[in-house]
Structure 1
């Protein structure tokens, strides 16, 4: 494909890139402590945190992989996100107060307070691994349109994008991350709308044609409503959504770090409500973009499209059919979606490694300046690993990167969600019971992963779709942990303020947080 960057597109992208770098280095001068680097002195208003949540969760996987999923199949993967509003209510009422209590910085500090050292380390390591995989996927996706646009080798594009994002993230910490996230969230919303409008303007029948032809080809289907454990039915994907969103809201460091960076309990709750209200319509928009492109290329056949991978269709449309300037804005939106997720991931991993591993175990008793310096070195290492992972993703066969993302989350997510839920809702399960159940559940998780990878003979595998893995592993962990705690009948540590049953009468400060 003979694609090249137009001057006006390059100018728009250049202005966007320069603005992001300027924001990062401005906040770098104001960041002198780990409290500033990790949580920005806990001073952000709710609307800013809400938009930052949006930018963090909605990545290039949203901008590129959701349209790809709708283009090749239908809307069944939207079912993952349909449960979001219901889980958000649980987060607002139950989860957020736990993390606001005691001025925590890391989600896994709660696990340490609730269970002890073992679960805290497990949670930290599990989060880091999953985040590295997710970030590599995101960087891989954004490198597709950048390669088409620049003509550079894929590896060079990945390296350049990764280094650029790392510059302002490593320098500016959470303040740079949240301020850039706000700008990026707005840009990515505008970019999605531009894609949809540009495609529908060219279609003779406009929106009506998309709906008619899309419906005729089953493009709006949410999947079969039959109960089948082996297929991606509506119920299978929706259950994955429950596990995914409960896990994100209850213990994902990207989300928890924003709960605690808000200026008050009320601000954290407003932020979560704002994110939840905007996110679902935005995901629906990107699925509709994919269906619109399906109809578009039926109406205007293009031989080049048949040679493209599903994740390349939208970038190809942007670079060949959208006018100069607007195309640059859309590319900037794809960059924004990527940068807002990667900068959050880099900062969150740096936070948990420093707070949950360096301070209590690997480098105890050092100065705050030492930990700040180490946090920046950790962020640099994370960037390097992400770049290598993205290059690795380019050599993997896949239906779409959104499907890869869902499988990775389900298969490798372990029992982290169950660990947090038992912590919140059970007084009986102690650290030893949790560790015993974790060992068994992780073994079961490995067994499922080997079966899905085809390593085990078919007669030794469990006949379920990979999307069920997360629910099965977490469900098994919860049952085993509770059963072991009943058998052991061991006394637990002081759980005051650590479960919904032991919150007690709490004194609150002027921000609504526990003293």
Structure 2
């Protein structure tokens, strides 16, 4: 790697860590650590939401999928406008008017402590799995670039992210994410330009090759998948779309990463605009990543490479984009692209670290330490507030370590995008169904919700792990686990109101 690329990478990456560290203040309270004092401009919050969407899973996983197959996973992004519109109209006002920064405090009010613990535990599992996937993808370019050990890069990167997340809290995370958003978009645009203008017959040759290349089903590289309404065992257009609708409704409706950002905007109006802006911006940027993957396919059709062929044979198509960065970009641009990959991953991991530590404080520690609610010890600058800050920072370290462990376990996985989507579908656990039960009807009581969740969990286990637990194959794709799990919780909970009436106290 040229010294100029090293300097570009270090300047961009080191600058992000330094910027996040500058938000450190000895006078920061636990409340300011978790909601930034409701002082962040709406456009910055919107860029932060966008950056949370665009992790290294998108930056490397999406091009890898487009290179290996087609644009079917892009359908996931098409569903986002539905979710962000619902969020701006109902979710943002609901959470802004709620006392707690935790997304799951409402569930305790409706159904009791078990509901809050269940949802927050599912959230923590989901975020740890996501962090592990992203940390692995962050380390991959440096492994190809420098020959550095994947495990070493994962650990060092994690320490840097945890460091500035601990120091500056939510304010540091959101402002650095906004800057990282611009870096990752700029880097992707530059890479696409280099790819397309490197083709011997001009930019349109990259498009034409992708259009003319057909798979066994006769679909080209730009295909959004099969439109069959009866095939639910494969990732068809409709399976991917319905999965995206449910996942994104869950993201905007009950994911602490997003809910916590609603609290950081200056006004409710700015929070609504942030939700819309962050969601809509993801669609063209997501298309940009898939186009890069298709152009990579065309590029290596015209310029065959033995190492790329080896990646294909091993099923390691996620490695093709980093390999192109290292071996085909002009000096200086390689460092910029690697920095943009790091920007995408660091922003999302920092978000998960801060949001998870907030949940550990609000949903676990403060429940076990009821005496902190005594006068002078709740969100004050006394002993209670110092204790809260300490829990937030230690929680950041704990979550970071768990993320490292997952990343190390994913080193031999073929497709990180597939792995992450399956894990998120399982760990999400139908949280959206429980939230909708409490949000849409006051008639649904604790007993109805408990039975609904148990039924939903059984459905998720059946679809996701039928072969492990000795059940017959349901003939459904794993992406549908969260869809059917959510619907089961919701339908069973409502139906039980008719059969198990609960008298008012």
Q: Is the TM value for this pair above 0.5?
A: yes
Q: TM-score range by the shorter chain?
A: over 0.9
Give distance in 2, aligned partners of 1:287 and 1:31.
45
Give RMSD over aligned pairs. Answer: 1.5
Q: TM-score, normalised by structure 2?
A: 0.93
Which residue of 2 is the match for residue 235 of structure 1? 238
Give distance in 1, aligned partners of 2:366 and 2:28.
17
The answer on whether the counterparts of 1:166 and 1:383 sit within 8 Å (CA) in structure 2 is yes
Unaligned 5+ residue runs, structure 2?
Answer: 214-219, 378-383
User: What do residues 124-165 of structure 1 show as CA deviations (whole Å, max 9, x unaligned)?
Assistant: 111000100011000011110011222221111111111111
Q: TM-score, normalised by structure 1?
A: 0.91
Which residue of 1 is the match for residue 399 of structure 2? 382
- Out of 3, 13, 19, the position equivalent to 1:7 is 3
CA 1:432–1:151: 2 relative to 1, 3 Å: same
- Out of 226, 230, 255, the position equivalent to 2:228 is 226
Which residue of 1 is the match for residue 216 of structure 2? none
Report whether the alignment pairs 1:395 with 2:412: yes
Which residue of 1 is the match for residue 324 of structure 2? 317
CA 1:270–1:364: 2 relative to 1, 3 Å: same
Which residue of 2 is the match for residue 53 of structure 1? 49
Q: CA deviation at 1:32?
A: 2.1
Q: CA deviation at 1:30?
A: 5.4
Which residue of 2 is the match for residue 369 of structure 1? 386
Report whether the alignment pairs 1:479 with 2:491: yes
- Out of 107, 114, 121, the position equivalent to 2:110 is 114
The answer on whether the counterparts of 2:107 and 2:438 sit within 8 Å (CA) in structure 1 is yes
Which residue of 2 is the match for residue 307 of structure 1? 310
TM alignment of 1:52-451, pairs within 5 A: 52-217=48-213, 218-227=220-229, 228-308=231-311, 309-362=316-369, 364-365=371-372, 367-396=384-413, 398=414, 400-451=415-466
Give distance in 2, aligned partners of 1:141 and 1:48.
26
Give distance in 1, aligned partners of 2:237 and 2:13.
40
Unaligned 5+ residue runs, structure 1?
Answer: 494-515
CA 1:111–1:212: 2 relative to 1, 3 Å: same
Give distance in 2, aligned partners of 1:159 and 1:492.
54
User: Comparing 95-104 with 258-267, which one deviates more in the overlay?
Assistant: 95-104
SS at match of 1:192: helix
* Shift >4 Å, 4+ stretches: none
Q: CA deviation at 1:446?
A: 1.9
Q: CA deviation at 1:182?
A: 0.8
Give distance in 2, aligned partners of 1:363 and 1:150.
51
CA 1:174–1:492: 2 relative to 1, 3 Å: farther
Give distance in 2, aligned partners of 1:393 and 1:362.
36
Which residue of 1 is the match for residue 40 of structure 2? 44
User: Comparing 256-265 with 426-435, which one deviates more in the overlay?
Assistant: 426-435
User: What do residues 219-246 of structure 1 show as CA deviations (whole Å, max 9, x unaligned)?
Assistant: 0000010121112110111110111111
The answer on whether the counterparts of 2:462 and 2:474 sit within 8 Å (CA) in structure 1 is no
Which residue of 2 is the match for residue 510 of structure 1? none
SS at match of 2:330: coil
